[in-house]
Chains A and B, each alone.
Chain A
Amino acid sequence: MVRCPKCGKMNQDSSRFCNQCGTTLPQTRTRCPQCGLMNPIGNAFCSRCNTRLHDSEFQLPEQPKPPEETPVGVKGISLPTLPVAGDGTLETTELPDWLLELTEQSLETPADALEPTLEEPFLDWLSDLEDDTAGEVAGDATGRSTADAPVPDGVAPSATMPDWFDALPEEDEEAGAAEAEVETPSSLAGVDDEPALDELPDWLLATATPTSPGDVPSFTPWPEWLSKNAEEPTPGQEETEQELPGWLLQSAEAPPSHASPAAHSAEEDAGRVVPLPFPEPEEEPVSETSAPDWLAALYPAEEPEPQEAVESQAGQTASSLPDWLMGISEEEEVEPQAAATEPEAETVPDWLMGIYDDEEVEPPAAATEPGAETVPDWLMGIYDDEEAEPPDVAPSTEPEAEAVLGEDIPDWFADIDGKVEEAGPLAAIFTVEPEEEEPALEADIPDWLAGIMVEEPVPAQPQTFEQETESGQADVPATDDIPDWLKGMTPPDDEAAALEPAQSAFVPSETLSEASEDEAPALEAGEIPDWIEGLSPTAPGAVEEEAAFFDRVSGDESLVRAEVPSWLQGLRPPGTGPLPSLPEVAYTDKDQLDADIPLPQEGGLVRAEIPDWVQQYRPSADGEVGEESFLEPSETDGPLAGLRGMLPSGPLMDMPADFEPVSLAAKLDAVYPESIVAQAQLWQRLLEQPRSVPRPVAQHRVRSGRGQQAMRWIVAVVLLAVTALGLLWGEAPLSQALSRPHIERFSRAIDALQTGDTVIVAVEYGPAEAGEMTPLARAVVQHLADRNVQITMVSTLPEGAGLIHGLLEPQALVNHLAAGKAAYLPGSSSGVAQFLSEPAEAKMLIVLAGRAERLRWWVEQNNAQSATSPPLPVNVGVNAATAPLMMPYLETLPVVGWVVGLPDLAAYQEFRGLTSGALNSQLDALMLAHWAALALLLFGLFYYLALGKKGAS
Chain B
Amino acid sequence: MGIDIIGLIVGAVVTLVIFSYLLGDNVLYRWMLALLVGSGVGYVMGVVINEVLFDWFVAALAADSLATQIYYFTPIFLGILLLFRGFSSVKPLSPLSVIGNIPMGYLLGAGAGVAVGGALLGTLFPQVVATGAAVTLENPPWGLLRGVVLVGGTIAALLVFSPRPISINGEDGPWLPRVRHVGEFFIIVALAAAFAGAITTGLTLWVERWATVLRAALSFMGG
A residues bordering B, Cβ < 8 Å? Answer: 701, 703-704, 709, 712-713, 715-716, 719-720, 723-724, 726-728, 766-767, 769, 771-772, 775, 798-799, 801-802, 820, 822-824, 826-830, 833, 856-857, 859-864, 866, 879-885, 888-889, 891-893, 901-902, 918, 921-922, 925-926, 929-930, 933
**B211 close to chain A: CB less than 8 A:** yes
Binds A, one of B63-71, B83-91, B177-185, B196-204: B196-204
Across the two chains, which residue of chain A brings its CB closest to B134?
Answer: A891
Measured CB to CB, the closest approach of chain B to A774, in angstroms, equals 9
Total contacts A-B at CB 8 Å: 159
**B43 close to chain A: CB less than 8 A:** yes
Give complex CA distance A826, B110 in Å.
Answer: 14
Q: Contacts A709-B24, A824-B51, A933-B199 known; A767 to B36 CB distance under 8 Å?
A: yes
**B206 close to chain A: CB less than 8 A:** yes
Q: Closest 8 A-B residue pairs measured CB to CB?
A: A860-B122, A860-B118, A880-B200, A863-B122, A798-B44, A716-B22, A881-B201, A822-B51
Give complex CA distance A799, B38 in Å.
Answer: 12
Q: In the complex, what residues of B have CB within 8 A of residue A723's CB?
A: 206-207, 210
B122 touching A862, Cβ below 8 Å: yes
Across the two chains, which residue of chain B brings its CB closest to A833?
Answer: B114
B201 touching A880, Cβ below 8 Å: yes
Q: How many chain B residues have a CB neighbour from A under 8 Å?
A: 50
- B22 interface neighbour in A715, A824, A918, Cβ under 8 Å: A715
- A798 interface neighbour in B22, B43, B205, Cβ under 8 Å: B43
Q: Produce 1/0 per residue, B38-82, CB < 8 A to A.
A: 001001100110011001000100000000000000000000000
A892 touching B130, Cβ below 8 Å: yes
A830 touching B206, Cβ below 8 Å: no
A798 touching B48, Cβ below 8 Å: yes
A893 touching B126, Cβ below 8 Å: yes
Q: In the complex, what residues of A have CB within 8 A of residue B22's CB?
A: 712-713, 715-716
B residues bordering A, Cβ < 8 Å? Answer: 19, 22-25, 36, 40, 43-44, 47-48, 51-52, 55, 59, 110-111, 114-115, 117-119, 121-123, 126-127, 129-130, 190, 193-194, 196-201, 203-212, 214-215
Measured CB to CB, the closest approach of chain B to A882, in angstroms, equals 7
Give complex CA distance A37, B201 in Å.
Answer: 103
Q: In the complex, what residues of A have CB within 8 A of residue B129's CB?
A: 892
Which of B19, B114, B121, B212 has most A Cβ within 10 Å?
B114
Give complex CA distance A884, B188 in Å.
Answer: 13
Which of A726, A775, A891 has most B Cβ within 10 Å?
A891
A929 touching B203, Cβ below 8 Å: yes
Q: In the complex, what residues of B have CB within 8 A of residue A822's CB?
A: 51-52, 55
Q: State the majority secondary structure of interface residues on B.
A: helix
A829 touching B118, Cβ below 8 Å: yes
B194 touching A884, Cβ below 8 Å: yes
Q: Contacts A820-B59, A881-B198 known; A829 to B115 CB distance under 8 Å?
A: yes
Give complex CA distance A154, B99 in Å.
Answer: 123
A929 touching B206, Cβ below 8 Å: yes
A799 touching B203, Cβ below 8 Å: no
Q: In the complex, what residues of B have CB within 8 A of residue A712's CB?
A: 22-24
A798 touching B210, Cβ below 8 Å: no
B118 touching A857, Cβ below 8 Å: yes
4 further A-B contacts with Cβ under 8 Å, apart from A829-B111, A881-B198, are A767-B36, A801-B51, A860-B118, A860-B122
B197 touching A892, Cβ below 8 Å: no
Q: In the complex, what residues of A have CB within 8 A of residue B59's CB?
A: 820
Give complex CA distance A701, B26 in Å.
Answer: 10
Interchain Cβ contacts under 8 Å between A and B, 13 examples: A716-B19, A723-B207, A772-B208, A799-B40, A820-B55, A822-B51, A829-B114, A833-B118, A860-B122, A863-B122, A892-B126, A922-B211, A929-B203
Across the two chains, which residue of chain B brings its CB closest to A878?
Answer: B197
Give complex CA distance A929, B44 in Å.
Answer: 34
Measured CB to CB, the closest approach of chain B to A451, in angstroms, equals 68
Give complex CA distance A357, B193 in Å.
Answer: 106
